[in-house]
Amino acid sequence: MPVSTQGDYLKNTTGGSYTDQTQGGTLLGNTTTGDVITKSLSLLDNGAPFTATLPSERSNGLVSNQKALSGGTFAYEVAGQYVIRTISSTLSGVASTKVLIPSRATDSTPPIAKFRHDFGADTTSLMRKNRFARVGYFNNGNKVNSRRLWLNAAGTAVAAPSTLTGGFMFDLADGNASNMAVDSAAEPSRSVPGELVMKVDFVTLTVASGGDFFDYKPITGM
């Protein structure tokens, strides 16, 4: 639009003399002023600050959320206290090492996968023992009227397979089932840093007395 560069407007300060006043225009985004455009108005000055709204803790049947830490503050946000794994020593405004130390040294979460025992039904051994009605008949020729085709020892009736929870791994070095949950690879110690199998005995193949199973030497610092 046209902008007047002159006007009959006077201004002064207290006790001072009157001077001409020029009323110029204003352009949004302009930061350079002169005789015509006398006002500076940047985009930042014209915009309203945006304030983000933090989520709120609620449970109304449609929306349900909860705190990451029961003793902390929901939607906690403070500059410099961010949740960063192996760095953060606080969580939700409360001192916590839950994300500072990402691993656990408990039996439930070993550093590497540890073999405990098999799970599920022991169907493999039944297949080896021919205790499966492949064509739907018992050994005596009677038809199996069941969706379960696993058989008892005699092959004359349907029987449920046993579970595999008794198939524990045991210590390779001594073959002793008393410490069958020991896995020196997953739970190494200074006395038994690990175990290995090396084929040197072609006569005795048993774990207890065979010569193929070894423990690593103890770590003594010597």
Which pLDDT tens digit goes with each residue over 72-104? 888 888 888 888 888 888 888 888 888 877 665
Long-range contacts of 67-71 (CB under 8 A, 24+ apart): 67/92, 68/92, 69/94, 69/96, 69/98
Report pLDDT for 109: 56
Which pLDDT tens digit goes with each residue over 108-157? 555 566 666 667 788 888 998 999 998 999 999 999 999 889 999 999 99
Kindly report the pTM of this predicted structure.
0.31
- Copy the structure tokens of residue 92: 């939700």
Long-range contacts of 150-153 (CB under 8 A, 24+ apart): 150/123, 150/126, 151/126, 153/129
Query: 120 Cβ partners below 8 Å, 6+ apart?
Result: 163, 164
pLDDT class of 222 with cuts at 50, 70, 90: low
Q: Report helix, strand or coil for 57.
A: coil
Which pLDDT tens digit goes with each residue over 13-59? 677 777 666 666 677 777 777 766 777 777 777 777 777 777 888 88
User: How far is residue 189's CA from residue 216's CA, in Å, rounded to a whole number?
Assistant: 10
